Amino acid sequence: MSKNNNNFYKSWFDTPYYHILYKNRDYKEAEMFTKELMEFIKLPLNSKVLDLACGMGRHSINLNKMGYNVTGVDLSVKSIKNASKYESENLKFKIHDMRKPLGQKFDLVVNLFTSFGYFDDFKDNLKTLDSIKSSLKKNGLAVIDFLNIKYLKNNLIHKNTEEIDGIKFHLNRSIKNGFLTKKISFKHELNEYNFEEKVRSLDLYDFKSMFKQSNIKILHIFGDYKLTSFDENKSKRLIFILK
């Protein structure tokens, strides 16, 4: 079975295989990062936080545990169904496309763990920034946590195989034509599957230019989840605190 690559984020992220491949995604890391982030931002308790492209809600759940009123949204029906098991009065999940405004205002909007830049049409990135802006209260803040493409280019593992739940996922990565592409192929129950994850290879300067167009101000740039200053050559992450 081969999946159409256009709008891959609508299909791949919703397959059971996406959830198997990333089942070991780090909940401890999410907890540590949200703690570090909120200590830095010093957002008053009970403030409203939007986790845009929340996946299965690992950051939303932690932010809520810390005392915030959190809404997590994602396009993946399966992820939201899973996250919804943790819903409470101050923790809600919803299926929503991040390119569209949610129609509610928040004190903080976070977009974490490379949840930006999936779209073939570059204008969709600007639409996402507009939707972030329109979801912010006056003086609200936004956080975008992306990968540092320069570091990744110099340290790219082109091929490897990961065996999870008895499935051998063959991963093939490349950076070309403005995208970081991960081809994922595997066999399961006699069927062959091929998927592709694609994220635009945006660097610091691409983001700066988009923020300028969208009239978004950069307050801080960090390079990892401990909030160390960003160094283009050494940092694994590119984390913006925005206003």
Ligand X SMILES: C[S@@+](CC[C@H](N)C(=O)[O-])C[C@H]1O[C@@H](n2cnc3c(N)ncnc32)[C@H](O)[C@@H]1O
Contact call for residue 242 and ligand X (CB under 6 A) = no
Q: Out of 113, 195, 222, 225, name the contact with ligand X by CB under 6 A.
A: 113
Contact call for residue 112 and ligand X (CB under 6 A) = yes
Kindly state the smallest distance separating residue 190's Cβ from ligand X, in Å.
28
Closest residue to ligand X, Cβ-based?
A: 55
Q: Give every CB contact of residue 209 below 8 A, 6+ residues apart in sequence.
A: none
Give 110 or 141: the residue with its C-beta nearer to ligand X: 110
In whole angstroms, give the CA distance from residue 147 to residue 228: 14
CB atoms within 10 A of CB 26: 13
Contact call for residue 118 and ligand X (CB under 6 A) = yes
**242, 211 contact by CB (below 8 A):** yes
In whole angstroms, give the CA distance from residue 68 to residue 200: 31
Contact call for residue 62 and ligand X (CB under 6 A) = no
Q: Give every CB contact of residue 190 below 8 A, 6+ residues apart in sequence.
A: none
Q: Out of 34, 74, 136, 144, name the contact with ligand X by CB under 6 A.
A: 74
Contact call for residue 53 and ligand X (CB under 6 A) = yes
> Which residue from 163, 165, 181 is spatially nearest to 173, judged by alpha carbons?
181
Contact call for residue 58 and ligand X (CB under 6 A) = yes
Question: Both ends of the chain: CA-CA distance in Å?
Answer: 44
Q: Give every CB contact of residue 44 below 8 A, 6+ residues apart in sequence.
A: none
In whole angstroms, give the CA distance from residue 132 to residue 146: 15
Give 48 or 96: the residue with its C-beta nearer to ligand X: 96
3-state helix, strand, coil split of the chain in percent (to 5) is 30, 35, 35
Part of the chain binding ligand X (CB under 6 A), chosen from 35-43, 51-59, 83-91, 230-238? 51-59
Kindly state the smallest distance separating residue 93's Cβ from ligand X, in Å.
12
Residues 131-160 that bind ligand X (CB under 6 A): none
Give 90 or 114: the residue with its C-beta nearer to ligand X: 114
In whole angstroms, give the CA distance from residue 159 to residue 82: 30
Part of the chain binding ligand X (CB under 6 A), chosen from 38-46, 111-119, 187-195, 223-231? 111-119
Question: For residue 49, what are the β-bridge partners?
Answer: 70, 108
Give 55 or 189: the residue with its C-beta nearer to ligand X: 55
Kindly state the smallest distance separating residue 119's Cβ from ligand X, in Å.
7
Part of the chain binding ligand X (CB under 6 A), chosen from 70-78, 134-142, 154-162, 170-178? 70-78
Q: Where along the sequence are the contacts to ligand X (CB under 6 A)? A: 9, 13, 25, 53-55, 58-59, 74-76, 79, 97-99, 112-115, 118
